[in-house]
Structure 1
Amino acid sequence: MSSQPPPPATTGDAAPKHTGVGKDLIQRGVYKPNPLGTATFIGLRSLDPLLQYQILARGWGTSLLTKLGLTVIPLYASGTPVSTMMHETGIRLLDSLNLPLPRLILLAMATGSTIKQIFWLTCTSKEEFPPSAAASVSAYNTVVNSLASFLLISTATSAALSTPLVTIPGTSLRVSLPTAVGAVMYVIGMALETVPEIQRRRFKDAPENKGKICDAGLWGWARHVNYAGYTIWRTGYGIAAGGWTAGAVVAAWHLWTFAFRSIGLMDEYMSGRYGEKWVQYKRDVPWMLFPGIY
């Protein structure tokens, strides 16, 4: 399956059938709402931050990893969060969670990914998203996020135990270098995925662009620039949880998935629908994911 909900296609005729590169989750070319699918997606994705909180703060992760014979970073000692880094952010709501900063950052990433994907479905996508697709995409994201949470709390893999520590600008808060790098990549990747999806929706909503391929904004950089954004923030998530090795594994997995499956599905769909226009767009924008690289 694709590692994220595939991007919404442009408006027009029904999509051609895909052959040779697997089956797409989205009903491409079917432009109608699916209330059950939307409700399923919103419900399941909204549960994920609650699950991650249980893993990171309520002992679910500790219990499971201990049963597997793994050592876990203790959360509390004499009622105080265990961490070489301050956990107080000065924001009452966040501090009430009483989490060390690395765990708080990972919980924020899980929450942000939920908000972003619900925004994608309800505000930028026009195509039908059935319950089966909603369940598959939600399950994938929950599994990946949970694995990251387990990596963070295990002493063998936690990025929170890495050195050196860096100070967050403008604060006295300190985090490990992988945590800081991962957080920055997460923000950049989220923007690089979300902004082009908004640009495409606005482009396709304009009557004068009917039947055209969106080449506006970031779509003039790379043909699947939102996939690049997803790969970046997912990699950052992995680095913030399990350090450089975990980040490399996450990056390799998503690059492979996009290069050998998702991009093939989109290329087949767009070729069948737009013909020579798509060929010309690929000439004008030769890069698939990262401008100047790939």
Structure 2
Amino acid sequence: MDEPVLQLEKGDEAGSRLRRALPMPGWQAPLSLMLGIAAGLLLLAAFPAGGRGEALVTMAMPESRSMAMPRISAGRAGNAAPLVVIDAGHGGFDPGATGPSGLAEKDVVLPIALALRERLLELGAVRVALTREGDRFLPLEERVALAESLEPDLFVSIHADSAPVEEARGANVYVLSPRASDAEAMALARDFNAADGAADTGDAALGDVEAVLAELARRETTLGSARIADRLESRIRAAMPVHGRFRRGANLVVLRSARMPSILFEAGYISNAEDAARIGSEAGREAIVDAMAGAITAGLLAVDR
């Protein structure tokens, strides 16, 4: 057997700290399996039960690495209208969170994204593009790169949250903040950014002047993000439950762009049976889409719809 293997040490957390080791001839002991994502790769690890010993790891490269450009739909808006890029979270081999009935986050957020595109086009005020229109995986940084290449006026990432306690429910919106607004936002950023091994380089690769300019640009885009989030809050509160403080700040990979205002919307807790039923239903999606479309057009065009 000449496949690469990794060495696990007792205390390692679900393979988050694995070290390369020499190939091994095989196992006789019972095996444990671990499936995860790192650096945009699908990893399947098999290792001796108990967590100590060498692990055989298989890595798969997603087909989506081709960076196919999203399709821009203009409808009645025309080619000069503001552009909104909608990002349905997860996809492909990455299901995201899973609800008590087995409902996967990736299968909930894509219909919301598709319906939001149609609603925005019906309003005729903006152009729309989606990072994914089908069930495919995109690494976090590739989602941002795809959006930035289109030079949009707004980037909207749509997700559904989960919690270890079923009582947690309600929607939230996140904008970029170097410091998390609360413990939940901090935990979300940690888990979200680590989900596919996204790099946390910030402006480290830039020179001093470039880093300062990038930070100034990011402050400007953050103001635009906050404007959309504020418009969204009243509409969401009128339509569905909200989880504590609606608008939160976190240092999420998909919000770090200095080139476009960005928000991440959590439609609800898929781990909660009521929320899962709401966001998985046509009526629930319609309520979300109406609120988001109204907030987007109001925030970008300074009009209420």
Provide TM-score, normalisation by structure 2: 0.28
If asked which structure has higher relative contact order (CA below 8 Å, sep 6+), I would say: 1
More strand by share: 2
More helix by share: 1
